[in-house]
Structure 1
Amino acid sequence: MLDLWDFFQHLFNPRWIFLYFGKTALFVLLAIVFAETGFFIGFLLPGDSLLFTAGIFGEDLCKNFYNVPFFVIILIVAGVAILGNMQGYWLGYKSGKLLYKKKDSFLFKKKHLILAKLFYNKYKTTALIMSRFLPVFRSFAPIVAGVIRISFKKFMVYNIIGALTWTFSIMLAGHYLDKSFPELKNHLEWIILLIVFTTTLPIILKIKIKKKAKKVLT
């Protein structure tokens, strides 16, 4: 029996989630996807690596959920991702201004909100699609959309496109790579590290470029 601390430690290991929870793993996956896109604390949760691992364990997910096609599993995950963004939009719409006044804590960093706003200002509503593939931005972009109160209809169009693109591309990548290379499961930790690195690299580079630009200007 896992205690609460052990549970949260293992929660960041996508492979453990599918092996430990078995038949209920899909519901854990859906809860994490919703939390990651619906609440600002969600940036701490595994997103891309979890979806990729879900693709690898796709057959098990289908068997444990009425033997539905994998296509249906992806649609369910995409639907929850859409709902998560809607929750984020509502959070920003209702309390966005208060978030800017909120003090930093372990679960909340104001800089993440500001970075997401700068990102949104640059790419406008397409940021909702791009942010799906970027940690931190994925959690804060819908909140920013709510704060600046963009049209909900416009928000939903990009929300749906982004959710479908994100879930289908990453989950299908894991699914078909596993079929081509069955031994993939034995090296999953390295693949997850690669995914984390490739998704965070653009953020790291952007921060470094901004720092260099500030030095030149000063």
Structure 2
Amino acid sequence: MIAVDPTDSASVLAAFGALGVLAAIFAESGLLVVGFFLPGDTLLVPAGVLCAGGAHDAPRLQLWQVMLCAAVGAVAGGQVGYLIGRHGGRALLNRRAGPRVKRAVARAERLLARYGYGKALVLGRFVPLLRTVLHPAAGALGVPARTFALWQSVGGVLWSQTLVLAGYALGASVPHIDAYLLPLIALVVVLSLLPVLVQALRGRRARRRER
């Protein structure tokens, strides 16, 4: 029996391959609370790396399979998250969410109000934590279904394919990069958190100006 840690990208990829990508991205994109603990960026980039074979090694994963599974998981997960928010409403978000989730929900609401539905749904995909609550929040706030389906699909495909292809390009250009998946995952985590840190600094500066 294979022991799998769902929060560990290397473990998920080793056990399930492209299907693991589909399941993890689906859950992160649509299942509130649970999605916070699953890899997103840190799964797609290593998956892309494993699709690039070396000079004497065959690729461990097939690029087309990973890209397809990533896109399907992102788009389908987003739609499920929207339906959860649409039928559960704000009461669901407030009742079942902890402080961390509530902060992310509030941020999602600000993003939708500031940038509009289309831009917010695309940009929100690239921000960890935010993309997990953005879709339920959009459903709870009554974003039109057609508008949501269009822009969340654009954002989901753009986000998932960009990261997979970035990993593939890295794996194809750097010899034996797959031997350093753990440091690579750590680097991806740091890079993916940069937007969060930038937003936090902007918020702190704004509060200082108000004072």
Do they superpose with TM above 0.5? yes
1-structure distance, mates of 2:96, 2:60: 43
1:29 maps to which of 6, 21, 44? 21
1-structure distance, mates of 2:196, 2:115: 15
1-structure distance, mates of 2:61, 2:167: 13
Whether contact under 8 Å (2:70, 2:161) holds in the other structure is no
Residues 103-125 of structure 1: per-residue CA shift (max 9 Å, x gap): 6548x631111111112212222
What are structure 2's unaligned runs of at least 5 residues?
52-58
Structure 1 outlier segments of 4+, above 6 Å:
none
Whether contact under 8 Å (1:11, 1:17) holds in the other structure is yes
Residues 104-155 of structure 1: per-residue CA shift (max 9 Å, x gap): 548x631111111112212222111111111011111111211121221111
- Are 1:138 and 2:149 matched, yes or no? no
Residue 159 of structure 1 corresponds to which residue in structure 2? Answer: 152
Whether contact under 8 Å (2:48, 2:66) holds in the other structure is no
Residue 13 of structure 2 corresponds to which residue in structure 1? Answer: 18
- Are 1:207 and 2:200 matched, yes or no? yes
Identity %: 27
Provide the aligned C-alpha RMSD in A.
2.0
Q: Which amino acid aligns with 1:60?
A: R
Count of residue pairs the alignment pairs up: 202
**What is the TM-score of this pair, normalised by structure 2?**
0.86
1-structure distance, mates of 2:169, 2:157: 17
1:40 maps to which of 32, 55, 60? 32
1-structure distance, mates of 2:10, 2:152: 28
Whether contact under 8 Å (1:100, 1:110) holds in the other structure is yes
Shift in alpha-carbon separation, 1:47–1:214, aligned structure 2, 3 A: same
